[in-house]
Amino acid sequence: MNNEETTFKDDSAAVVRVEGKDRLSWLNGLVTCELAGAAPGQAIYGLFVSRVGKIQSDLWVLVAESAIYMVVPAASAEALSTMLDAHLIMEDAVMTSEPDLLPAFAFGSAPAAGEGVRGTFRWAGEEGSLTLVARGADLPSGPSDAVRLRHGWPRFGVDFDATMLPHEASLEGVAVSFNKGCYLGQEVVCMVELRGQVKRKLVRLALPALVAPATAVLDADGNTIGETKSAALVDGVATAFALVKRAQSEPGASVHVAGAAATIRPAVGASA
């Protein structure tokens, strides 16, 4: 794996700058990740969830000296702006869209190219960096399906969506703090964590050959237990995200896809 494969700008994202003395505390009450005490130079992944715990969008929060930057899917940006405006009452926080900026990501120790605001993160134990760059920066667009599947980085609207809880999307370990104060939807998310009751789970599959999205996943008796999402070759191995019944989601379990055996792997984190 070379640096070019894991350094890219995400042109499907939108960047929003938030200024004001209450910017961190205000946003912290609306997202699943912990922002209290976040320092400049950090990039933190989290989720917006509804009052019933369903994912409304994912986001990265990039902390700078005098502002924070939200990186969200461009397709969700307008709806999120309306939602966030409704939760701005007396707080000193001002949001400004940054249409000329894009996030550039890099996995590993090498930072993404560019001279913009930068923060480091850990994704399921992997080091990475997020840098804000000009939209026209000379970087490849990404992430490709292969990069996302290699690092176990599902995409909102493709691999998981607004019908799902964080635990169903297998994001509770990278996007949710269970030690922070109150946030919108926290009660449901914490209840799921305590009871462990979800009916389906996002996983990765190691396959003998590539399959199309929405290909059925079957158990040993031929019963449909889910379907595939994104798929790509990862270091020569056909790999796919899939949403399956929780009972069949244990890593190492065998399932059947397109008439062939496939092996369940964890959804999030670098592939073995």
Q: Name the band, by pLDDT with cuts 50, 70 and 90, for residue 269.
A: confident
* Domain of residue 259, CATH code: 2.40.30.110
Q: What is the pLDDT of residue 112?
A: 59
| Residue 240 covered by a domain | yes
Domain that holds residue 235: 199-266
Are residues 144 and 9 part of one domain? yes
Q: Are residues 255 and 123 in the same domain?
A: no
Render 101-158 in DSSP notation, one character per residue.
Answer: EEEEEEESSSPPSSSS-EEEEEETTEEEEEEEEETT-S--B---HHHHHHHT---BTT
Q: How many domains does the chain have?
A: 2
Tell whether 126 is covered by a domain.
yes
Say whether both 18 and 138 belong to one domain: yes
> Is 50 exceeded by the pLDDT of residue 19?
yes
Residues 119 and 251 in one domain: no
pLDDT in tens, 74-122: 999 999 999 999 999 999 999 999 999 999 999 876 665 656 899 999 9
User: Do 122 and 228 have their domain in common?
Assistant: no
| Claim to verify: residue 32 and residue 145 sit in the same structural domain | yes
**Per-residue b or e along 184-195, where b marks 16 or more CB atoms closer than 10 Å to that residue's CB:** bbbebbeebeee
Say yes or no: 78 and 139 in one domain: yes
120 phi and psi angles, rounded to 5 deg: -105, 155
Residues 232 and 144 in one domain: no
167-202 pLDDT, tens digit per residue, is 999 999 999 999 998 999 999 999 999 987 899 999
The mean pLDDT of 138-145, rounded to a whole number, is 92
- Final residue before a domain boundary, out of 95, 126, 151: 151
Answer yes or no: is 180 within a domain.
no
Let me know if residue 183 belongs to a domain.
no
Q: Which residues of 107-116 are buried (b: 16+ CB within 10 A; e: fewer)?
A: beeebbbbeb
Domain membership of residue 206 (yes or no) is yes
CATH of residue 53's domain is 3.30.1360.120
Least confident of 2-11, 84-93, 121-130, 150-159: 2-11
Count of residues in the chain: 272
Query: Considering the domain boundaries, does residue 130 fall inside one?
Result: yes
Residues 38, 120 within the same domain:
yes
Are 227 and 133 contained in the same domain?
A: no
**Based on the domain organization, do 92 and 226 belong to the same domain?**
no
* 36 and 142 belong to one structural domain: yes
Cα–Cα distance, 123 to 55 (Å, whole number): 19
Assess if residue 245 is contained within a domain: yes
| 90 inside domain | yes
Question: Mean pLDDT in the chain?
Answer: 93
End-of-domain residue from the set 118, 134, 151: 151
